[in-house]
Amino acid sequence: MKGKFLLLLSLPCIVLTILNPFFFHASKIELISLIMWFYQYSMIGILLFPTVATIFPKLPDKGYSLSKLFSIILLFYINWIFTSLGLMEFSAPSLSFSLLLLMILSHIIPHKDEDLFALIYEKKKFIFKAEFLYLLVFSSFLVIQSQHPDIYWGEKPMDYTLLNFNIRNTSLPLQDPWFAGNEMHYYYLGYYFYAGMAKMTGVGGELGYALSVVTSAALFAISLFGLLVYLTKRAWTSFWGVLLILYAGNLKSFVSIVIDKKKIDFYSFWSSARVFRGDGFAEFPSWSFLFADLHPHVMSYAYSMLYLLVMIYCVEHLWNKKISSSTLSGVITLSLCFGVLLGINGWDFIIYALFSCCYFLLSWKRLHFDLKAAFLHFVSHALSLLFFLPMLLTLQSGKEMKWGYYQGALNTWKSHFLFHGHWWLIILFMVAPVLFLHRKGVRWNVLFRSIGFRFALTSFILAFIAEFFFFSDRINTIFKSFTNIYIWGGIATVISFRFFKFYITRKNLVGFALSSIFIVNLVLVGSYFNFKGIINKHYFSKVSKGLRGGAYLNQYDENEYKMIGWINENIRGTPTVVERYSKSFDTRAARVSMHTGLPTYLGWDGHVYLRGAPWHKIQQRKRDIDFIFSGSDPIATVDFLDRKNIHFIVVGGLERRYYSKVGLDKFSDNSEMFKLLFKSGNSALYGVGQYKNFLIE
């Protein structure tokens, strides 16, 4: 037994070290930071295991797979609340103090007198599978990430900016790094969590981005494993079920490549998520983690599975029992797990509120609920708004949120079939014999009374709502809803595996096995095509390999690459920088803010607008930037920069493309006002005002 535990502890270090020279190409210091990152999550995750086991004693793994995420939530929640109140900084020392508080809390919170090691020994089979799964997913997606590491295109510049800014930032409320000086009106807790881990482990933003993406995949895997173990009561079924859901593609990829004979490339990968009418699209886990954008819906995958597990457990085991300390613990735990969705991805907060309501109502008669159960269910969700009140206040941007019945053209059955129809094919394959063979001891209510049926029916109800109604806009309603519905279909599929025992015999075993292999391969082959498509996409002539997501800048603009490196080494804190603005998705704009985390006076205009900034103020900032770079009066420029609290000016290729030489030369011609801090080729960085306060001595 001791040998297995030693192997479990040492295996991550061995695997990551072996993979490094072949794929990651990390330096010794970076490799140590990478390994520390991995073990930090494992160490934090085990802190509350005894407490979680006490709150959720009927979970087959005693909540081990739940405790990892729940401990992370509590650690950063403690720091976030104290920082929001101005009592603490968002820094490595304060996070260490929060970790100490969490350790104290784990001893103060009442729990059964079960020794941690005794618990681990008791549930060793589940723990070994969970940790091996976590390592497998983490390392496999890190290898994939190393094959296309460039943090480029799509919304990756925004994601990278928010991560880097949070790594630099030490206070709350958070300012918008693309609208410097104004409060952020966007859910940012996912970036806050990963930036906090980067501070604790000493990981920089470039490596931190790659690790954050693959950690999102690994946390999703282990939380999904805990949910499936609870729903199926079978560890190996859950293990393979997680891999199926995580690595599965959809039928769109299969049809495009095999039937339509289209080329395997980035566009075949891109189109596999765009099967709905018009501009409608939705993602699925393998697509998201292959594309590797650190967007809120990707970071939320794991926490939504955690919420589902806790919510279903409370509905099934706590709400219809006499109120006790376990009930109150369940209410608080569910509130935290639900509230964190508001901070990571506000859309999931809405979607899972609807899911919870539907699932509870479908369980009412089956579990003999009364008004007390309804009250507990309501309070546990409403309380989350109190726990995450600072985030709720942050998200109030003043924008009108529209909702109603969608009157446009609906998606066709073919669109739905290509996106997630494979799940329902497998479910039909598993369940149909139960309904029609009527073998002895098998009744229809075996199906209709199960958790799986209520889960699947809830998914269908929400798919109906998402198709016929909209919230905010049609595109986001389809995107955010069906991204989750895909996962729910996968969960319902794994649950349906239990029904094959009712009709499997020695005579049909071979046929059943071959049919299953065919269907599963049909699902997985789409992911293989997507994998080939994404790693063959090269934005630049020289292919980057490894985990340096910003290395492509050396090809894009060698001088700016050097300037950004100088900024990261020599400037501390979050002083404002000014650079040329541009429209959303222009990868040339906000490049200094993106790669350094420094807040810029104006970044992508469309994204700033969507985060609540009034359009007339955005337009005014454009005029301000034009004045800074075009004006010929250095005194007026310095006075304006001082009033706007801008300390650094970037003059690079983009600025030289849009502004005249006369306007730009005033910086170099007036060295007493504009201090030249760095110059390489046509890229220069100037300091102005109290810029020295932000230089590292």
Q: What is the pLDDT of residue 435?
A: 65
Query: Which DSSP category does 322 fall into?
Result: P
User: 253-277 as b/e, with b when 16 or more CB fall inside 10 Å?
Assistant: bbbbbeeeeeebebebbbebbebbe
Output the pLDDT for position 428: 83
Read off the pLDDT of each residue in 367-378 and give the average, rounded to a whole number: 89
In terms of phi and psi (left: phi > 0; alpha: psi -120 to 50; beta: otherwise), the region of 109 is beta
Does the pLDDT at position 505 exceed 90? no
Answer yes or no: is pLDDT of 444 > 70.
Answer: no
**DSSP-derived secondary structure for 89-135:** -SSHHHHHHHHHHHHHHHHHS---S--HHHHHHHTHHHHHHHHHHHH
Mean pLDDT, to the nearest integer, of 8-25? 94
Task: State how far the Cα of 156 lies from the Cα of 591, in Å rounded to an integer.
Answer: 11
Look up residue 547 and give its two tokens: 């985990």
Region 539-562: mean pLDDT is 85
Q: How high is the pLDDT of residue 388?
A: 97
- Given a cut of 80, whether residue 434 has pLDDT beyond it is no
Residues contacting 219, CB < 8 A, separation 6+? 41, 68, 69, 134, 301, 302
Q: What is the pLDDT of residue 437?
A: 60
Give the CA distances from residue 410 to residues 236, 277, 317, 416, 467, in Å, rounded to whole numbers and listed in that order: 40, 7, 39, 11, 7
Closest by CA to 236, choosing from 494, 564, 523, is: 494
Q: What's the rounded mean pLDDT across residues 97-124?
A: 79
Who has greater pLDDT, 437 or 149? 149
H/E segment holding residue 663 = helix 661-669
pLDDT in the model for residue 594: 97
- Whether 356 shows a pLDDT value over 80: the answer reads yes
Give the Cα separation of 464 and 185 in Å (integer).
30
pLDDT at residue 442 tops 70: no
pLDDT (0 to 100) of residue 122 = 83
Output the CA angle 265-266-269, nearest 5 degrees.
Answer: 95
- From the number of C-beta atoms within 10 Å of its C-beta (0-12, 13-18, 19+), residue 398 rates as exposed
Task: Retrieve residue 498's tokens.
Answer: 């239990």
Q: Check whether 54 has a pLDDT greater than 80.
A: yes
Inter-residue contact 223 to 66 (CB < 8 Å): yes
What residue type is 119 in one-letter code?
L
Alpha carbons within 13 angstroms on the beta-carbon side of residue 248 total 30
Among 106-120, 186-200, 316-330, whose mean pLDDT is lowest?
106-120
Provide the CA 327 distance to its chain's centre, in angstroms.
Answer: 30
Scanning the structure block, which residue is given the tokens 């800074």? 628
Question: Residue 320 — very low, low, confident or very high, per pLDDT cuts 50/70/90?
Answer: confident
| Ramachandran region, residue 468 (left: φ > 0; alpha: ψ -120 to 50; beta: rest) | alpha
pLDDT category of residue 6 using cuts at 50, 70 and 90 = confident
Average pLDDT, the chain: 91
Range among 175-184, 493-502, 509-518, 524-533 with highest mean pLDDT value: 175-184
Token digits of residue 262: 């289209």
Give the Cα-Cα-Cα angle 634, 639, 643 (nearest 5 degrees): 145
Residue 1 is predicted with a pLDDT of 58
Angle at which helix 205-232 crosses helix 474-496, to 10 degrees, equals 50
Handedness of CA 599, 604, 606, 610 (dihedral sign): negative
Q: CA nearest 417: which of 347, 482, 491, 494?
A: 482
pLDDT bin (cut points 50, 70, 90) of residue 285 is: very high
Q: How many C-beta neighbours within 10 Å does residue 33 have?
A: 19
**Whether pLDDT at 545 is above 60:** yes
Choice among 145-154, 439-448, 537-546, 681-690 with the minimum mean pLDDT: 439-448
CA-wise closest residue to 225 among 133, 136, 316, 297 = 133
Q: How many CA atoms lie within 13 Å of 235's alpha carbon, on the beta-carbon side?
A: 17
**Largest Cα–Cα distance in the chain?**
93
The Cα 292–Cα 534 span in angstroms is: 10
pLDDT for residue 5: 74
Q: Is the pLDDT of residue 441 over 60?
A: no
Q: What is the pLDDT of residues 398-424, one digit of tens each?
A: 566 788 999 889 999 999 999 999 898
Q: How far is Cα 313 from Cα 315, in angstroms, rounded to an integer?
A: 5
Domain residue extents for the chain: 2-152+185-249+284-399, 557-694
Average pLDDT over residues 204-215: 97
Contacts of 273 (CB under 8 A, 6+ apart): 281, 282, 283, 284, 287
Backbone phi, psi, residue 469, to 5°? -130, 165
Share of the chain above pLDDT 70, in %: 92
User: pLDDT band at residue 503, thresholds of 50, 70 and 90?
Assistant: low
Closest CA to 91 of 166, 33, 183, 173: 166
pLDDT score of 123: 85
Residue 430 has pLDDT above 90, yes or no: no
Q: What is the pLDDT of residue 51?
A: 87
Q: Which CATH architecture has domain 557-694?
A: 3-Layer(aba) Sandwich (3.40)
Burial of 209 (0-12, 13-18, 19+ CB in 10 A): buried
Calculate helix-pair angle for 235-247, 124-147, nearest 10 degrees: 10
H-run or E-run covering 679: strand 675-680
pTM across the whole model: 0.96
